[in-house]
Amino acid sequence: MKEISRPAEAPPKRSGHFRRLSVALVVAGLLIGFAAYSWQPSPRAGNQGDFIPIEEFSRIIRDFSEEGGYFLSDNFVSNETSYLHVMDKLEEIGSVGEDAYIGVGPEQNFSYIARLRPRIAFIVDIRRQAMIQQLMYKALFSLAETRTEFLSRLLSIPISDQETPAAEALLPELIDYFDRRPGVEEAFRGNLATLFKTIEEDFQFPLTEEDRAGLEYIYSIFWEANLDTRFWFRGRWSWGYFPTLRGILLETDLDGDLGNFLAREEDYQFVRGLHLQNRIIPVVGDFAGPKALRTVGDYLKENGYNVSAFYTSNVEQYLFRNGVFGDFAENIRHLPVSEKSLFIRAFTGRGGFHPARVPGHRLTTILQKITIFLDDFDQDRYPNYWALVTTNFISSRE
């Protein structure tokens, strides 16, 4: 078995999900569902005018991206259990079914995209590894026609038995199905080879040796930890502190309703369709950097888009810490926005309990109109991060 490169302190493994199936006939039967798949844009993905040629998609990533930077964590999955709390507010006061979405980080973006229904999306992250992970997701969406197949490929758990959930299965049924099965190394190896081929040949995006090692590292975590995959800080023990992928998928909004992009087949199909149109584009970029956000802004202006929502997570906390928040604000000024354009922020609790905090959640998710943000910035109302997240914010409870 080839050694998989990992940071010095890798997350722990669950013994129950790391068993190797040694009987060749059993493995062969399980792998039936993992035949090679040649990616093609779906004719149902959208109008022909919506399709971005794959050469252009690959060019945009390369031309818009900055040099990769360091961040102190591996965001395999979101750690924000409150991420669904603002969904109703997004629909109530934001733009739905039009314009552009900008986000950062891993799969949480897909839930916001599913709810907002934008025409195009950019995922901008300072880590090149995050861009590679988004290309991994794009490949998985392209290969997986249903939610069940998506989870199967993500977790390297084949779905060839009689108990395979139906396309309309409820999300808890899907979770239960995959919770009762281990990842299979042969499936992981075969799927990984397909991911490399899909990204490099079908998406026409060349991977460096470091990119390939990073993709193998990321994908191996999902194979080994499965639904226990979590966010973790590099170099220090934190694997058990953050929510699992299972928990993130099963989070609810304030009314107790499931809202992840995998909760409904139609939401999954919308996100998949946008991927098949090559209209979810990952870019390597610093929010306060000189190129990525400004270039995205230029592209949106040239193509007649406004920003419907910009999910920043808690990145602004680090921009204040590094003394570059003003550069970020100027980059925001460069984006095309309307009165409906919104920030989606996650406040971590540093500095005090947020007025909009929901008990039982480590983070607080809030909104703010981008036009209000720019006015407040010009009035010097943001001396620090606490002032940013408590001035003219929109609570999920309002």
Q: Model confidence over 337-392: pLDDT tens digits?
A: 999 999 999 998 755 689 888 888 888 999 999 999 999 999 999 999 999 999 99
Q: What local confidence, expressed as pLDDT, does residue 119 receive?
A: 96
Q: According to the model, what pLDDT value does residue 68 have?
A: 72
Q: Residues 326-335: pLDDT tens digits?
A: 999 999 999 9
- Name the band, by pLDDT with cuts 50, 70 and 90, for residue 41: very low
Q: β-strands 364-369, 307-313: how paired?
A: unpaired
By C-alpha distance, which of 142, 82, 146, 73 is closest to 108?
Answer: 82
What pLDDT, on a 0 to 100 scale, did the predictor assign at position 30? 39
H/E stretch holding 240: none
Residue that the structure tokens 């590679």 belong to = 132
pLDDT digits (tens, 9 = 90+) for 239-276: 456 899 999 999 999 999 999 999 999 999 999 999 99
pLDDT of residue 192: 98
pLDDT band (50, 70, 90) for residue 98: confident
List of residues 6+ apart from 184 with CB closer than 8 A: 21, 27, 30, 31, 156, 157, 158
Q: Are 121 and 274 in contact (CB under 8 A)?
A: yes
Q: Report whether pLDDT(66) > 60.
A: yes
Quote the CA–CA distance of 340 and 342 in Å, as a whole number: 6
Phi, psi of 12 (to 5 degrees): -70, 160
Q: What is the pLDDT of residue 138?
A: 98
Q: What is the pLDDT of residues 198-247, one digit of tens each?
A: 999 999 999 999 999 999 999 999 999 999 998 665 554 454 568 999 99
Q: For residues 30 and 26, what is the distance between their CA atoms, to the nearest angstrom?
A: 6
Hey, what are 74's tokens?
């591996």
What does the pLDDT look like over 126-138, one tens digit per residue?
A: 999 999 999 999 9
Return the pLDDT at 350. Answer: 59
pLDDT at 3: 39
**pLDDT over 50 (residue 47):** no
**346 neighbors 364 (Cβ within 8 angstroms):** yes
What's the pTM?
Answer: 0.86
Q: Is the pLDDT of residue 89 over 70?
A: yes
Burial track 65-96 (b if 16+ CB lie within 10 A, e otherwise): bbebeebeebbbbbbbbbbbbbbbbbeeebbe
Could you count the other beta carbons within 10 Å of the beta carbon of residue 352? 10
Which helix (H) or strand (E) segment is 169 a member of?
Answer: none
Burial class from Cβ neighbours inside 10 Å (0-12, 13-18, 19+) for residue 194 reads buried
Task: Write down the H helix ranges in 31-169.
Answer: 54-64, 87-93, 108-116, 128-143, 147-155
Mean pLDDT, residues 164-175 taken together: 92
Judged by average pLDDT, the poorest of 23-27, 78-82, 183-187 is 23-27
Distance CA(331)–CA(292), nearest Å, equals 9
pLDDT at 97: 86
